Amino acid sequence: MMSAHMMLWQLRAATKGSFCRRCYRPQPQQGPLRPLTWSPRQLDRKETNSCPSATSNTEYPRVFITGGLGQLGVGLAQLLRKHFGRNNVILSDIKKPPDEVLNSGPFVYADVLDYKNLRELVVNNRITWLIHYSALLSAIGEANVTLARSVNITGLHNVLDIALENSLRLFVPSTIGAFGPSSPRNPTPDLCIQRPRTIYGVSKVHTELMGEYYHHKYGLDFRCLRYPGIISADSEPGGGTTDYAIQIFHDALATAKFTCYLRPDTRLPMMHVRDCHRATLEFLQAPAERLSMRTYNIGAMSFTPNELACEIRKHLPSFEVTYAPDAVRQGIADSWPMSFDDSNAQGDWGWKAEFQLRELVEDMLRSIKEQKKNAAVS
Ligand X SMILES: NC(=O)c1ccc[n+]([C@@H]2O[C@H](COP(=O)([O-])OP(=O)(O)OC[C@H]3O[C@@H](n4cnc5c(N)ncnc54)[C@H](O)[C@@H]3O)[C@@H](O)[C@H]2O)c1
Catalytically active residues are 200
User: Closest CB to ligand X among 134 and 166?
Assistant: 134
Rounded Cα distance between 343 and 203, Å, is 25
Residue 115 C-beta: closest distance to ligand X, Å: 11
Q: What is the torsional sign of CA 165, 4, 219, 349?
A: positive
Amino acid at 17: G
For ligand X, give the closer residue by CB, 88 or 203.
203
Binding residues for ligand X, rule: CB under 6 A, are 66-67, 69-73, 93-95, 111-113, 133-135, 137, 151, 155, 173, 175, 227, 229-230, 238, 240, 242
3 state DSSP class of 91: strand
Please name the amino acid found at residue 135. A
Q: CA nearest 208: which of 230, 197, 192, 187?
A: 192
Whether residue 189 contacts residue 239, with contact meaning beta carbons closer than 8 Å, is answered with no
Least spacing, CB of residue 377 vs ligand X, in Å:
28
The packing angle between helices 305-313 and 357-377, to 10°, is 60
Shortest Å, Cβ 51 to ligand X: 32
Smallest distance, ligand X to C-beta of residue 152, A: 8
Which residue, among 160, 311, 326, 184, has the nearest Cα to 243 in the 3D structure? 326
How far is C-alpha 121 from the geometric centre of its chain's CA atoms? 20
**Cβ 22 to ligand X, closest distance in Å?**
29
In angstroms, the CA 68 to CA 174 distance is 16
Complex with ligand X: residue 134 or 167, whichever CB lies closer:
134
Residue 132 forms beta bridges with which residues?
66
- Return the number of the residue (61 or 67) whose C-beta is nearest ligand X: 67
Q: Which residues contact 163 (CB under 8 A, 6 or more apart)?
A: 130, 169, 170, 214, 220, 222
Q: Which is nearer to ligand X, 171 or 319 (by Cβ)?
A: 171
Distance, in Å, from the CA atom of 107 to the CA atom of 128, rounded to the nearest integer, reads 17
**At its nearest, how many Å lie between ligand X and the CB of residue 143?**
13
Q: How far is the CB of 136 from ligand X (least distance, A)?
A: 7
Nearest by Cα to 223 from 91, 343, 151, 132: 132
What Cα–Cα distance (Å) separates residue 79 from each residue in 103, 104, 277?
A: 15, 12, 7
Amino acid (1-letter code) at residue 209: L
Name the DSSP letter for residue 183.
S
The strand pairing partners of 231, in sequence order, are 272
Contact 97, 107 (CB under 8 A): yes
Q: Which is nearer to ligand X, 167 or 174 (CB)?
A: 174
Cβ-based nearer residue to ligand X, 107 or 319: 107
